[in-house]
């Protein structure tokens, strides 16, 4: 008969005890902060669906990156909004592309900040899909070439890590090969390994101006109903050379985070995506929740589920809170 011998409340009776026995801890070291870089000068364009987030031109993103670094956040992930989009996403792999410019500027002024780049075609394609489109279909193998060129050009510009998010089959191997041939064998790959076709990306598509002009991404991103398939996707990416694997989105996919953590011995990242962020912001604005408490609970829960790293738009606010 457990009660009254066992009383779990004994270990919850005061703050010091609770702190001693806490199983999961959160630190700014866990965070990767997503940032959007756009063309122009002196531009800070607020993203209406993601309060607190903006697109910055290169000059201003450097200043913002300095703030991120000062807060003790070790890393950012960069998304680019190019001036021109076309059918082959040329700006994605141009040395003069928007992301390439931003990498150089940030590494020049804030060398201690780890710059990760999102490797994908959707922001650069006139049709908004993540690969080359022919007759309404997104072509897999032909796209690999562009992704490899894009990752290599990011590495040449000084990126510390590349993160393919396109969900084409075989892209990790193609990128690894291109990096190694280019002399960048020490640049790690974080693959968006289990990336689901999710409605939670809605606000991001406004932020990155990457909404597909026709159809959706269900022929390449995963079906939200699938759990076993995530293990297959992650296993393939690790075999192809992924150093860190990501689960995305995070909150509705905590079972996947835990499965991946339990099945593989590589670091796991979770992407707390735009829709997850905007829901918290909207409820907080209405006065329905305590924003900072909810943010801390969400981020701690993602660590508890098994994430080593969290990509989150809350990173700056959460780091301020953690730094006290």
CB of 122 to ligand PBG, least distance (A): 5
Six token digits for residue 151: 């990752």
Which region, left, alpha or beta, applies to residue 278 given φ > 0 means left and ψ of -120 to 50 means alpha? alpha
120 binds ligand PBG (CB under 6 A): yes
For residue 30, how many other CB atoms are within 10 A of its CB?
25
Closest CB to ligand PBG among residues 168, 234: 168
| Binding region for ligand PBG (CB under 6 A) out of 60-68, 95-103, 118-126, 146-154 | 118-126
SS3 of 207, please? helix
Site for ligand PBG in 257-316 (CB under 6 A): 273-274
| Residue 210-249 contact track with ligand PBG, rule CB under 6 A, x = bound | -------x--------------------------------
Q: What is the DSSP string of 128-158?
A: --SS-EETTEE-SHHHHHHHHHHHHHHHHHT
Contacts of 4 (CB under 8 A, 6+ apart): none
130 binds ligand PBG (CB under 6 A): yes
44 is catalytic: no
Q: Which of 248, 285, 293, 303 is catalytic?
A: 248
CB of 105 to ligand PBG, least distance (A): 22
CB of 77 to ligand PBG, least distance (A): 9
Closest CB to ligand PBG among residues 182, 252: 252
116 binds ligand PBG (CB under 6 A): no
Chosen residue from 81, 106, 110, 122 binding ligand PBG by CB under 6 A: 122
CB of 181 to ligand PBG, least distance (A): 25
Contacts of 92 (CB under 8 A, 6+ apart): 80, 82, 99, 120, 121, 123, 124, 146, 149, 150, 153
118 binds ligand PBG (CB under 6 A): yes
What are the start-end ranges of the E strands in the chain? 31-38, 44-46, 54-57, 75-81, 114-119, 133-134, 137-138, 161-164, 190-195, 244-248, 268-272, 309-312
173 binds ligand PBG (CB under 6 A): no
Q: How far apart are CA 193 and CA 202, in angstroms?
A: 20
Residue 313: Cβ-neighbour burial (10 angstroms; 0-12, 13-18, 19+)? buried
149 is catalytic: no
Site for ligand PBG in 45-104 (CB under 6 A): none
Q: Which of 85, 101, 107, 195 is catalytic?
A: 195
**Cis before 124 (ω within 30):** no
Q: Which positions are catalytic?
A: 195, 248
Task: Give the binding site for ligand PBG (CB under 6 A).
Answer: 118, 120, 122, 130, 165, 201, 204-205, 217, 273-274
């Amino acid at each position: 008969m457990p009660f009254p011998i066992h009383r779990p409340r004994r270990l919850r009776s005061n703050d010091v005890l609770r702190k001693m026995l806490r199983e999961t801890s959160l630190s700014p070291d866990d965070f990767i902060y997503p940032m959007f870089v756009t063309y122009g000068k002196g531009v800070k364009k607020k993203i209406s669906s993601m309060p607190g987030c903006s697109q910055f031109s290169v000059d201003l993103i450097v200043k913002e990156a300095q703030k991120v670094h000062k807060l003790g956040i070790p890393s950012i992930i960069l998304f680019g909004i190019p001036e021109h989009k076309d059918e082959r996403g040329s700006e994605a792999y141009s040395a003069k592309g928007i992301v390439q410019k931003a990498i150089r500027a940030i590494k020049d002024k804030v060398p201690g900040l780890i710059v990760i780049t999102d490797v994908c075609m959707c922001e650069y394609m006139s049709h908004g899909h993540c690969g080359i489109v022919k007759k309404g279909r997104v072509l897999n193998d032909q796209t690999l070439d562009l992704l490899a060129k894009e990752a290599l050009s990011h590495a040449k510009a000084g990126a510390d890590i590349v993160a393919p998010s396109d969900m084409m089959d075989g892209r990790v191997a193609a990128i690894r090969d291109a990096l190694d041939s280019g002399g960048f064998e020490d640049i790690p790959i974080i693959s968006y390994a289990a990336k689901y076709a999710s409605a939670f990306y809605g606000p991001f598509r406004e932020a990155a101006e990457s909404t597909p002009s026709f159809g959706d991404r269900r022929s390449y991103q995963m079906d939200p109903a699938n759990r076993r398939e995530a293990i297959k996707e992650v296993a393939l990416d690790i075999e192809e050379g992924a150093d860190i694997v990501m689960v995305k989105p995070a909150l509705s996919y905590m079972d996947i985070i835990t499965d991946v953590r339990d099945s593989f011995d590589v670091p796991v990242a979770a992407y707390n995506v735009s829709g997850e962020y905007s829901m918290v912001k909207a409820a907080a604005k209405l006065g329905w929740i305590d924003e900072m408490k909810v943010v801390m609970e969400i981020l701690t829960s993602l660590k508890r589920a098994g994430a080593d790293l969290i990509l989150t738009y809350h990173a700056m606010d959460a780091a301020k809170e953690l730094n006290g």
